[in-house]
Structure 1
């Protein structure tokens, strides 16, 4: 059975409109494993922690818990990331999570020519977001995650956004319904 990894970076919890869209996308899916970044509360790597992880990599100590998130990510058949549009990208917790999963010889490795080659099993990464205004060509979060997907060997990236949710002249439910149509298409409906 295939596994869907849902990376929940919806920092407002159940109040999040992004999370509502994610739940809609995942509603009919089976075998969904959720990583709630708000509850996980990862600490960014500093020099000491990065050095420790590098030493563990060199020693081949892959059973150390520091690699658990990377192994989980690499083994998933599909990745779904839900994150609100914050400051032209996404919450810092998601970047910290990417630091934890971006492990050479788990998520990717380097070829003899020095190019990154992906080792992840996932066939797609779906990025779901919502924003008060409009992205208008400045969705650096999706662009970043598309680059990460390429590096990790994930061949397809997909994007869903509910935009303009804080624009007074626009109806929130209409804007959410537009995103729901995109979700329905991605789910084959």
Structure 2
């Protein structure tokens, strides 16, 4: 089985989110493929890129490099998203990545009765995040990925969150340990 780890931890090894992701993945017996979004430095789609992708999509030229990230995502059997809680969701690099992944007829398609149907192979998506404050049930980044998973046909989503890490006087290690307990329960 292949686990795709989408690393949106823009602070690199300084990231507490990345630390939790590495701990989650360290016990994995399966192949882990990491996509480091900071290193990829993806460019947002502009009119010329959209036209190019549409041309290749219409021709069903799925081997074109513009579809590489989508093909990789679609083929993964398990997906882990590591993203700190930024500006009510996640770093913009992750949204740009999703522009590359969200390809009709690769990640999803429309049925004859105009329903969106996901065609990804993943059985689950695990979203790991850390937050400076307390989100209080409004983790819009995770909620966004719940929608993406549904659209792409991924049947299960799971959340691991360590919140309150930047609050003065809080026991950061205790908060991280609580997230580690969540990870242990996921198995």
Common fold by TM > 0.5: yes
Residue 167 of structure 1 aligns with which residue?
167
Summarize the alignment of residues 7-18 of structure 1 with structure 2, pairs less than 5 Å apart: 7-18=6-17
Q: Deviations over 1:87-111 (max 9, x none)?
A: 0000000000011000011100001
Distance (whole Å) between structure 1 residues aligned to residue 41 and residue 115 of structure 2? 32
Count of aligned pairs: 186
Superposition CA RMSD, Å: 0.6
Shift in Å at residue 137 of structure 1?
2.4
Shift in Å at residue 80 of structure 1?
0.1
Residue 178 of structure 2 aligns with which residue?
178
Summarize the alignment of residues 67-86 of structure 1 with structure 2, pairs less than 5 Å apart: 67-86=67-86
Runs of 4+ in structure 1 off by over 6 angstroms are: none
Distance (whole Å) between structure 1 residues aligned to residue 180 and residue 153 of structure 2? 28
Summarize the alignment of residues 1-189 of structure 1 with structure 2, pairs less than 5 Å apart: 2-29=1-28, 30-187=30-187
Shift in Å at residue 160 of structure 1?
0.3
TM-score by length of 1: 0.97
Q: Deviations over 1:8-27 (max 9, x none)?
A: 00000000000000001000
Distance (whole Å) between structure 2 residues aligned to residue 122 and residue 47 of structure 1? 31
Q: Deviations over 1:87-146 (max 9, x none)?
A: 000000000001100001110000111111001000000000001101112211111110
Distance (whole Å) between structure 1 residues aligned to residue 140 and residue 47 of structure 2? 26
Note the residue ranges of structure 1 that are not aligned, 5 or more in a row: none
Shift in Å at residue 153 of structure 1?
0.2
Distance (whole Å) between structure 1 residues aligned to residue 116 and residue 175 of structure 2? 38
Shift in Å at residue 169 of structure 1?
2.5
Note the residue ranges of structure 2 that are not aligned, 5 or more in a row: none
TM-score by length of 2: 0.98
Distance (whole Å) between structure 1 residues aligned to residue 94 and residue 168 of structure 2? 29
